[in-house]
Amino acid sequence: MASHVGEVRQDNQEAVRSGNGRGEGVTLSPSEEREVEGKLPPSVQVLHEAVRIQGEMEMARSASALAWSSLAAGLSMGFSMLVPALLQARLPHAPAWQLVVAAGYTVGFLIVILARQQLFTENTTTAVLPLMTKPGLRPLLRLLRLWGIVLLGNIVGGAVFAFAVVHMPIIDTATAAALHGTATEMLRQAPWVLFSKGIVAGWLIATMVWLLAAADHSRALVIVLLTWLVGIGGFAHVVVGSIEALYLVFEDGTGGAGFVAFLLPTLAGNVVGGSVIFALISHAQVRSDEPG
């Protein structure tokens, strides 16, 4: 990555000196050239390499490290189910207040991403770029290994969280009613609807991952804005939705079939949105800029 970033920086410096992209330009001193370079946004090649190397690092981790990290992420993502219900139970039932309720959806994502825990929908972008860069059977098997461990760990962690909410004196009656209503409404959606909403959620999470590679001091803001859009749009996220479905399973046993009916189309939608569409297009534009 260091050599690639160095090449991009050198290209930027040449662009500054020659005035490319800004007309004829003006004569600058070396210190002014460095100042201009520092104000340039990172190139798409730099962002691609940052995300790709992050994926390489994730796939290089041991199975036990991935399992514990994804288990922790599943537990943390439970707050993206719980906090909106807490807000819904305490705020007026008016359409405008749903904007505030959806803000609670961001809490689990903030915890997981800032704590560097393993979340499946992040991996649909980061871990797929190494495969797109160097296609082959070995990178594919490494990707499937990562996805399998992380998804399983996320769901197990989410199941523990949902079980605790149901069977421990954690929430009041109003919050329990809000959780039940949200989960029931979600499971009533048709598979095609869940698949379509899963594509949008996967796309937004992939966009968030890409933007985080460029963000310096605004990482939390990027996470909040993009995941708030997922929440306010009611788009289907495989981990959060699975926790909601498991809440019904532990509450009254009615969500068992609904859990499977939710999981499969939403999982497919998240993968398509995050990997097949966003990551593929992002990778294609980088390859298109390469000589030849």
Question: d(Cα 227, Cα 240) in Å, to the nearest integer?
Answer: 12
**CA 254 centroid distance within chain:** 29
Residue ranges and CATH numbers for the domains of the chain are: 2-39 (no CATH), 63-289 (1.20.1080.10)
Give residue 38's pLDDT band: very low, low, confident or very high (50, 70, 90).
low
* Residue 24 bridge partners (DSSP): 22
- The answer to whether 86 touches 175, Cβ cutoff 8 Å, is yes
- Helix, strand or coil, per DSSP, at residue 24: strand
Of the candidates 243, 248, 226, 269, the residue with the CA atom closest to the CA atom of residue 80: 243
Question: d(Cα 277, Cα 19) in Å, to the nearest integer?
Answer: 35
Give residue 289's pLDDT band: very low, low, confident or very high (50, 70, 90).
low
Can you give the pLDDT at residue 1? 45
Give residue 8's pLDDT band: very low, low, confident or very high (50, 70, 90).
very low
pLDDT digits (tens, 9 = 90+) for 262-272: 999 999 999 99
Can you give the pLDDT at residue 128? 86
User: Over 60: is that where the pLDDT of 18 sits?
Assistant: no
Q: Which two tokens stand for residue 113?
A: 């991403």
pTM: 0.84
pLDDT digits (tens, 9 = 90+) for 82-136: 999 999 999 998 888 999 999 999 999 999 999 999 999 888 788 888 888 888 9
| 11 vs 81, residue with greater confidence | 81
Give residue 276's pLDDT band: very low, low, confident or very high (50, 70, 90).
confident
**CA 51 centroid distance within chain:** 12
User: Over 90: is that where the pLDDT of 19 sits?
Assistant: no
Give mean pLDDT, residues 70-92: 96
Lowest-pLDDT range of 16-20, 37-41, 144-148: 16-20
Question: d(Cα 16, Cα 58) in Å, to the nearest integer?
Answer: 36
Q: ∠210-213-219 over CA atoms, to 5°?
A: 100
pLDDT digits (tens, 9 = 90+) for 130-171: 888 888 999 899 999 999 999 999 999 999 999 999 999 999
Give residue 15's pLDDT band: very low, low, confident or very high (50, 70, 90).
very low
| 209 vs 276, residue with greater confidence | 209
User: 93-121 as b/e, with b when 16 or more CB fall inside 10 Å?
Assistant: eeeeebeebbbbbbbbbbbbbeeebbbbb
Give residue 210's pLDDT band: very low, low, confident or very high (50, 70, 90).
confident
* Residue 24 dihedral angles phi and psi, to the nearest 5°: -75, -25
Residue type, 261: A
Mean per-residue pLDDT over the chain, rounded:
86
| 45 vs 262, residue with greater confidence | 262
Question: d(Cα 133, Cα 249) in Å, to the nearest integer?
Answer: 41
Percent pLDDT > 90 in the chain is 60
Can you give the pLDDT at residue 230? 96
Tokens 């019904």 locate to 248
Of the candidates 69, 43, 65, the residue with the CA atom closest to the CA atom of residue 213: 43
Can you give the pLDDT at residue 20? 46
Q: Which two tokens stand for residue 286?
A: 């980088």
Can you give the pLDDT at residue 216? 75
Can you give the pLDDT at residue 108? 97
Can you give the pLDDT at residue 292? 54
Give residue 234's pLDDT band: very low, low, confident or very high (50, 70, 90).
very high
